Homo-oligomer: A and B are copies of this chain.
Amino acid sequence: MKDYLTPKETADALRVSPITVRVWAQKGLLKASTTAGGHRRFERSEIERFAREKGIEFFQDDGNRVLIVDDDEDHLALLCDVFRERLPECEYETARDGFEAGQKVATFKPHLVLLDLKMPGVDGFKVCRNIKQSPETERIRVIAMTGYMSDDNVRKIRYAGAELCLEKPLDLNRIVELVKSYQKPKDAMSS
B-contacting residues of A (Cβ < 8 Å)? 4, 14-16, 20, 24, 29, 33-37, 41, 50-51, 54, 56-57, 97-107, 121-123, 126-127, 130
Contact = CB atoms under 8 A, between A and B. Distances in A.
A15 B56 CA distance: 26
A35 B14 contact: yes
Copies of this chain, how many?
2
Contacts of A54: 36
Contacts of A37: 20
A41 to B, nearest CB: 5
A33 B103 CA distance: 23
The 5 A-B residue pairs with the shortest CB-CB distance, nearest first, are A102-B102, A98-B98, A106-B106, A102-B103, A99-B102
Contact of A130 (B56, B99, B121): B99
A54 B106 CA distance: 27
